[in-house]
Chains A and B, each alone.
Chain A
């Protein structure tokens, strides 16, 4: 349940950027990794408090998001994903190879939780924090769509030319939504690291970026509850494979294959996802 909450937050970050603003990002996995590694490094190697770790994570991911957004801002919808793809590849290379900082492919062990050790019922409290975050972010997403800023983003999704014709500052909107989306993705990374207490580069690969997009598409691109529905479905469905006693290493690959198949099936048959068309929150 906690992991579904963590990945729902990641999917919300994609939904804001792709579902609402129409900009496909292939680097959400990298931002997930930035959050997780900043938290892990600062808490295990330097013993910083949660507040400092959170602030540093937000600052670093926000700054990286700003830089990438500036580079990608002048690109068309077709080429925007390629800039973010390059960033994903570079982040993975750095995480894998800067052994002295990230411990390379061995990963970082013993990451502390975000709750004080004195607290009783740590698991339940952590789950409460995660799901409270999900609720807050879902509400934030709904509010964004109702604002002037949100309307600019939705116009951008339908047509960049139309958005520019309205006289609004579309570049500012694109940069802002990218930075916010990066920060939300890195926040989910912090929660992931604190929950699992061990991270390695494989958890933040290009596959994770595609996973987040898949969750969004299955749930319903741009819908309010789509991220939650899509993430829940996509994380629960492959668990049925465990009934067949498949080894853990092979299981990870099979799970990804299922994600890929679902992505293609939905793109082919129901490109705007489950909630678009079946509920009254169709974004089209």
Chain B
């Protein structure tokens, strides 16, 4: 049983790592939690799942492209002009507006029933006493590749160095002649790619509802809050810790306690650390 719990926990952690990495990037450069990503990630995967039976992998690509394009449009038309005023609260409120519009548009078009892959017959393999689904294997491979891609972009390319520079000191980055507008768009693209992928991978076995984005987003917030935005190993470890606690909560207490477990970690962390840690975001 302990081994099965560990496998489930790693499986969940892979999704949270993607969310945590994506959000850490956007929080690092904008210093704001963008709630609109909670809806954008769900929208991308809903489009992919809705049309998968007709278009196959093209639908997945379309979902990712549509979600990312929407995120870029929001960045250019709303967040960027609001950010220039230098009021992070206004940016947060604008992102809430974006969240409301996108999530309700989804509910208007597709309702609130579960949308899943039409060939949703995940194969189950048994290795000793451990059961592994084909969805778990896909999650392991795809999320590993995405994490690798993220690490490469951030640590081995000029784009990554420039993104870090904006995160550290935006004004200085502007003085040095960096094209901040383009870099914000790139960060938005990478973040939406990570979040849509996470949402899609999470939906492989159990499908998705148009309202599911908030729970994933809450987990992402907690990870970024605890781990900060700069240390990728800390993000990995925090994601693993949250997934472990969730697995234990789901195993012993039931499904509804999963999100409550995540919030409890946040509460515990706030009680211990207070304001010091939150400066990482603010």
Contact = CB atoms under 8 A, between A and B. Distances in A.
Given A89-B259, A254-B108, A268 B81 contact: yes
A78 B100 contact: no
Interface in A74-112: 74-79, 81-83, 85-87, 89-90, 93-94, 96-97
B218 A85 contact: yes
Contacts of A82: 33, 221, 225, 281
A264 B99 CA distance: 11
A74 B273 CA distance: 9
B61 interface: no
A261 interface: yes
Given A260-B97, A264-B101, A267-B82, A86 B218 contact: yes
Contact of A260 (B104, B222, B225, B266): B104
A257 B103 CA distance: 9
Interface stretch (A4-12, A183-191, A205-213, A225-233): A205-213
A12 B274 CA distance: 29
B281 A250 contact: no
Interface residue tally of chain A, by bracket? 35 or more
Interface in A213-238: 213-214, 217
B151 interface: no
A81 B31 CA distance: 13
B183 to A, nearest CB: 21
A83 B225 CA distance: 11
Interface in B76-99: 78, 81-82, 85, 87-90, 92-94, 96-99
A256 interface: yes
Residue from B89, B90, B107, B266 having most chain A Cβ neighbours under 10 A: B89
A75 B221 CA distance: 14
Contact of A271 (B88, B90, B104): B90
Interface of A is mostly: helix
B218 A89 contact: yes
B97 A85 contact: no
Interface string B203-220: 000000000001100100
Contacts of A214: 97
Nearest to B267: A71
A96 B260 CA distance: 13
Contacts of B259: 89-90, 93
Interface residues of B, number: 45
Given A78-B88, A217-B93, A263-B97, A71 B108 contact: no
B256 interface: yes
Contacts of A263: 93-94, 96-97, 100
B32 interface: yes
A24 interface: yes
Nearest to B262: A86
A264 B218 contact: no
A120 interface: no
Contacts of B260: 90, 93-94
18 contacts: A26-B96, A72-B270, A74-B270, A77-B88, A77-B89, A78-B88, A78-B278, A86-B221, A86-B222, A93-B256, A210-B100, A253-B105, A260-B96, A260-B97, A260-B98, A263-B93, A267-B78, A267-B97
Interface of B: 31-33, 78, 81-82, 85, 87-90, 92-94, 96-101, 104-105, 107-108, 111, 214-215, 218, 221-222, 225, 256, 259-260, 263, 266-267, 270-271, 274-275, 278-279, 281-282
Interface of A: 24, 26, 71-72, 74-79, 81-83, 85-87, 89-90, 93-94, 96-97, 206-207, 210, 213-214, 217, 249-250, 253-254, 256-257, 259-261, 263-264, 267-268, 271
